[in-house]
């Protein structure tokens, strides 16, 4: 397939339009999922009868009015491109179905509320709760009354959504009679304005953005009766800690995870919802940081499952109150996700020793070693039925587009991809860095070698770019550049995910150093193999990848001759508290680390060619980052190229803008790495 810039601007990628958000109905006899029969982004809600095999559309996709600002920003936090039906959920204990579409909450086909945020059902399906105008509502009754600009009830603040991956901020009790909710007070956090410069009308957004070292929102956790009445506030201290996770236990207590601001300590506390008095059950501490997870599960016998990286890798443990009964897993690779807990077994996901893969495992609670349930090499996601007898295997690999198969008591293919693009799978290999670390890489080869090399980089923590997945094969930018004669490589250096806490923690207190060295070692490895045409090496990336692109150009100019940096952080004092302070501490506690980790510190060393790309509406990595760098480069007499996206946020979405961006990037590398040919299709 000969790719064009328009192909690169089109979503979803070929072979990836498969059933998503798959769920078993409470009776276990049906599956529901979101799917676009046309293979596009607009998805409908489907149902599959497992016994008869019939499938039908439950809720069709429909056009909706323009998104509210809250919905637009929540989609940014979730990196969501899809439209139509974007969310649905079954009540846990009843065949009641909630669908969210365009701000409407639809229960069993009836619109029960409009203009709402984060609608949720009680376990029995009899109660609908949601947030409207920053206040908490349930059963059509308003439960909170004190919201104002900067003070919200039931809404997750920015860092909770973006960095703690907690989209919800209220939790319905198991009996449906009370709701716990977060009150976030950001009134003391300075407003950061974002001006819509690309529109005819004047529009200014105001965001409360907590910069590294500065004030965080103050949070409270309250419990309010659904029937109405006073709020009981849990005793969380002075509100300076992060409210990380909240779960109702079957006995009516609130299990709350709080994290210290330096993120080296996490406490799991159990609160009496009637009095607000809590008891600490366990504490996790680390000299690096404590990563958050979603693996707390309660069992009917009063025990609960917990995950910890105390061994160096995330393993599962069984607890009763404040006593650890035993380790359930003792593996030297991380548990990625806890999929299902039944009375007798645990289902979870993890790579099993080869970090480019992901597999599904089943473990008996009676003891013994985990049993691998997924057989084919590659990347597996799974949804397990409530009784554990059936499971859905969502499988992909570099050679296989996304397939969905029902396994267990009965087997059937739910989705098999149609004919997909004819693109070569990237080559996977490992090599040893100068420090003796084994690093994994993916390679996209052009027709002729040796060739100019482009490093496609993210390089930051909590991410992995080298996976045995179809998404690797349909990385259309890498494939397009390979078609133009470039050799393209991705390297997962230290700091990246799924290799354990020590591997991730190698970049602690200084960013842009060790992870850059690992990228350079990847370049040297390919040069030693004779695959690279001399010193014609470029680098490109977005967000943290944009930051590392700049650090490569400034700190390793002898290696990288040209780079394209998209939406880069340029100085970490301009990024948010929870992410930045996890790795660098605060600017006061680690001034040398901030100075060494700033692109602005090293800008004088820039020698290669640079193209900066940034959206002016970016509310995550503000355009201010690129503006500060441009000012510094201008004062140093350094020349650069610039592509401003006036109406785009951190994730550009307009297909025309995306196509223009891809053409500009390819043309830049063709010109500055002296590759024959043109940047057109």
Q: Supply the residues annotated as catalytic.
A: 543, 618, 650
Give the torsion sign (CA, 565, 571, 575, 581). positive
Q: Which residues contact 555 (CB under 8 A, 6 or more apart)?
A: 512, 516, 602, 605
Contact criterion met (CB below 8 Å) for 136 and 129: yes
Whether cis (ω within 30° of 0) applies to the bond prior to 12 is yes
Q: Which residues contact 501 (CB under 8 A, 6 or more apart)?
A: 286, 288, 291, 309, 312, 313
User: Based on the number of CB atoms within 10 Å of its own CB, is 639 exposed (0-12), middle (13-18) or buried (19 or more)?
Assistant: exposed
Closest CA to 242 of 145, 321, 158: 158
**C-alpha 269: how far from chain center:** 26
Query: What is the distance between the alpha carbons of residues 393 and 383, in angstroms, rounded to a whole number?
Result: 7
Contact criterion met (CB below 8 Å) for 23 and 33: yes
Query: What is the distance between the alpha carbons of residues 602 and 581, in angstroms, rounded to a whole number?
Result: 21
Contact criterion met (CB below 8 Å) for 113 and 78: no
Query: What is the distance between the alpha carbons of residues 259 and 284, in angstroms, rounded to a whole number?
Result: 9
Instruction: Please provide the size of the chain in residues.
Output: 681
The three-class DSSP label of residue 4 is coil
Contact criterion met (CB below 8 Å) for 218 and 185: yes
Query: What is the distance between the alpha carbons of residues 680 and 677, in angstroms, rounded to a whole number?
Result: 9
Closest CA to 225 of 136, 298, 148: 136
**DSSP structure class, residue 402:** E
Query: What is the distance between the alpha carbons of residues 240 and 234, in angstroms, rounded to a whole number?
Result: 14
**DSSP structure class, residue 499:** S
Query: What is the distance between the alpha carbons of residues 112 and 125, in angstroms, rounded to a whole number?
Result: 13
DSSP secondary structure letters along 43-107 = EEEEEEETTT--EEEEE-----PPPPHHHHHHHHHTT---EES-EEEE-TTSS-EEEEETTEEEE
Query: What is the distance between the alpha carbons of residues 521 and 45, in angstroms, rounded to a whole number?
Result: 47
Query: What is the distance between the alpha carbons of residues 606 and 603, in angstroms, rounded to a whole number?
Result: 5
DSSP secondary structure letters along 230-253 = PPEEP--TTS-SEEEEEEE-TTSP
Closest CA to 561 of 611, 626, 491: 611
Query: What is the distance between the alpha carbons of residues 633 and 626, in angstroms, rounded to a whole number?
Result: 10
Contact criterion met (CB below 8 Å) for 599 and 568: yes
């Amino acid at each position: 397939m000969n790719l064009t810039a328009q192909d690169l601007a089109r979503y979803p990628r070929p072979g990836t339009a498969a059933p998503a958000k798959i769920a078993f109905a409470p009776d276990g006899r049906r599956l529901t999922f979101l799917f676009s029969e046309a293979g596009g982004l607009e998805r409908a809600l489907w149902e599959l009868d497992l016994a008869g095999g019939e499938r039908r559309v439950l809720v069709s996709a429909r056009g909706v009015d323009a998104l509210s600002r809250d919905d637009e920003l929540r989609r940014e936090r979730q990196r969501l491109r899809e439209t139509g039906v974007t969310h649905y959920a079954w009540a846990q204990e009843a065949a009641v179905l909630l669908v969210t579409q365009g701000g409407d909450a639809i229960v069993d086909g009836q619109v029960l509320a409009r203009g709402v945020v984060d609608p949720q059902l009680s376990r029995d399906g009899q109660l609908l709760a949601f947030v409207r105008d920053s206040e908490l509502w349930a059963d059509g009754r308003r439960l909170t009354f004190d919201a104002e600009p900067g003070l919200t009830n039931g809404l997750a603040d920015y860092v909770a959504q973006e960095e703690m991956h907690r989209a919800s901020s209220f939790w319905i009790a198991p009996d449906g009679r009370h709701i716990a909710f977060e009150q976030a007070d950001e009134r003391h956090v300075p407003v950061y304005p974002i001006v819509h410069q690309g529109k005819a009308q004047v529009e200014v957004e105001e965001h409360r953005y907590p910069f590294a070292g500065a004030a965080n929102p103050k949070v409270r956790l309250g419990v309010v009766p659904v029937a109405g009445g006073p709020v009981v506030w849990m005793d969380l201290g002075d509100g300076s800690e992060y409210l990380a996770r909240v779960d109702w236990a079957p006995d009516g207590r609130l299990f709350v995870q709080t994290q210290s601001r330096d993120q080296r300590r996490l406490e799991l506390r159990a609160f009496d919802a009637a009095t607000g008095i809590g008891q600490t059950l366990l504490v996790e501490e680390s000299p690096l940081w404590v990563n958050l997870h979603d693996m707390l599960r309660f069992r009917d016998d009063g025990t609960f499952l917990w995950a910890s990286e105390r061994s160096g890798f995330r393993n599962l443990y069984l607890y009763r109150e404040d006593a650890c009964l035993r380790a359930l897993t003792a593996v030297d690779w991380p548990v990625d996700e806890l999929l299902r807990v039944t009375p007798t077994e645990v289902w979870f996901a993890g790579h099993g020793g080869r970090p480019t893969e992901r597999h599904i495992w089943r473990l008996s609670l009676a003891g013994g070693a985990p049993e691998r349930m997924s057989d084919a090499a590659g990347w597996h996601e799974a949804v397990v039925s409530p009784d554990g007898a059936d499971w859905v295997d969502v499988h992909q690999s570099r050679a296989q587009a996304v397939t969905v198969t029902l396994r267990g008591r009965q087997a059937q293919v739910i989705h098999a991809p149609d004919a997909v693009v004819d693109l070569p799978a990237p080559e996977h290999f490992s090599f040893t860095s100068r420090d003796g670390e084994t690093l994994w890489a993916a390679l996209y080869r052009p027709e002729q070698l040796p060739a100019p090399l482009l490093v496609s980089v993210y390089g930051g923590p909590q991410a992995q770019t080298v996976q045995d997945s179809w998404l690797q094969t349909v990385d259309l930018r890498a494939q397009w550049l390979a078609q133009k004669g470039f050799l393209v490589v991705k390297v997962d250096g230290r700091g990246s995910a799924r290799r354990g806490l020590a591997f991730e923690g190698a970049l602690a207190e200084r960013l842009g150093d060790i992870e850059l060295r690992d990228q350079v070692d990847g370049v040297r490895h390919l040069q030693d193999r004779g695959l690279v045409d001399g010193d014609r090496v470029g680098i490109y990336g977005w967000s943290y990848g944009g930051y590392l692109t700049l650090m490569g150009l400034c700190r390793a100019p002898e290696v990288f001759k040209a780079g394209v940096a998209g939406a880069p952080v340029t100085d970490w004092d301009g990024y948010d508290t929870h992410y930045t302070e996890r790795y660098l501490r605060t600017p006061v506690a680690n001034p040398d680390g901030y100075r060494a980790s700033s692109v602005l510190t090293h800008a004088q060393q820039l020698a290669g060619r640079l193209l900066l790309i940034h959206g002016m509406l970016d509310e995550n990595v503000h355009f201010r980052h690129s503006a500060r760098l441009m000012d510094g480069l201008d004062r140093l007499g350094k020349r650069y190229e610039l592509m401003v996206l006036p109406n785009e946020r951190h994730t550009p979405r307009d297909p025309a803008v995306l196509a223009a961006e891809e053409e500009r990037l390819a043309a830049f590398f063709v010109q500055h790495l002296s590759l024959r040919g043109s940047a057109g299709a």
